[in-house]
Structure 1
């Protein structure tokens, strides 16, 4: 879910900065050429670069959180698989048990909670450069800065 939140925030940020691409994005499923164009234009790395041009700190945070989301479950890989896995001998056989939703040990679950909070704050902070006056008026700037200190 953290990956989805970050991707949605990046798409929103990118489309706010490049309104001429909104129609391209909306026509993704019209035909194969449209799908190819969306895949060409809407790359996570490019959207992160667009954010980096406006706010390096948030772009770095978004990139780190995005890579972490991929490493720890958004894609099948060693880290995603083994964080909740344990092995035990059953005679001459080795048995592997895995718990995908609640890995053994509180550390993995605590890290998940923290990553979710970091992702939420990062997603909200991405829009600050686009809506600085509104963020300041509602004191969202101060609140986000305060939340970041503990994350």
Structure 2
């Protein structure tokens, strides 16, 4: 068996060209990413947060990592979107866990102090613990956070068969009768896969926005401005079904139910 791959310089050229072309002519779903960014700045971050400084840094880190996931989607290397989106979601979960518990902040800070501290930190700071803490606030959104986390692993945050074989295709039979396979790494400008990756960023951002808002006392996004969140979800659902080309019967994040056209 032989393995062949393009040169790094080719990869850098292709991903840079994709990002530049997308900056000049935004892909189909970029308007939803712009809407996402507007909601974070005008509806989420505009409210004061009385939280531990470590919680604040983790919550802010989730947004910056989310920006990195968008960047990867726009580069065309869409599989890279998922591990970054997963980290963004984990950061928001950890900030939510620390929001009013100084003991949790100490556990996080002392992670690398010794083996026992590392073990305790790993036990306490998990997405499942954040989901359990979120359930009294909203059982539906707790399930949504867990669904986004699980889907990110399936689609690229872990090297499983779905995240790899979904991008592989059989080559034409060679002259020597051997068989080969191609694996697409970088997808083209405004391709279906680029737009699905942008949909992923929007869905993860909705989970993150809820976690950040739930970390503040009486955040308007979860109270008198809950209509903003509902309208945002409805618009995302409509665009997901348009990208899929059909109504979607789904549970969890919609992007896991959006199947590429054959």
- Scaled by the length of structure 2, the TM-score of the pair is 0.52
Most deviating of 62-71 and 93-102: 93-102
Supply the distance in 1 between the matched residues of 2:217 and 2:226 (Cα, whole angstroms).
Answer: 8
Unaligned runs of 5+ in 1: none
Cross-structure match for 1:93 = 178
Give aligned pairs, total.
Answer: 150
Q: 2:206 aligns with which of 96, 112, 121?
A: 121
Cross-structure match for 1:21 = 104
The answer to whether the 8 Å contact 1:29/1:35 transfers is yes
The answer to whether the 8 Å contact 1:3/1:70 transfers is yes
Runs of 4+ in 1 over 4 A off after TM superposition: none
Q: 2:167 aligns with which of 75, 84, 89?
A: 84
Alpha carbons of 1:135 and 1:73: their partners in 2 closer, same or farther (altered >3 Å)? same
The answer to whether the 8 Å contact 1:83/1:108 transfers is no
Supply the distance in 1 between the matched residues of 2:150 and 2:192 (Cα, whole angstroms).
Answer: 19
Matched, 1:133 2:218: yes
Unaligned runs of 5+ in 2: 1-83, 237-262
TM-aligned CA deviation for residue 17 of structure 1: 4.3
TM-aligned CA deviation for residue 132 of structure 1: 5.3
Cross-structure match for 1:5 = 88
Alpha carbons of 1:17 and 1:57: their partners in 2 closer, same or farther (altered >3 Å)? farther
Matched, 1:143 2:225: no
Alpha carbons of 1:17 and 1:3: their partners in 2 closer, same or farther (altered >3 Å)? same
The answer to whether the 8 Å contact 2:168/2:181 transfers is yes
Supply the distance in 2 between the matched residues of 1:9 and 1:141 (Cα, whole angstroms).
Answer: 20
The answer to whether the 8 Å contact 1:24/1:38 transfers is yes
Q: Which has the higher strand share?
A: 1
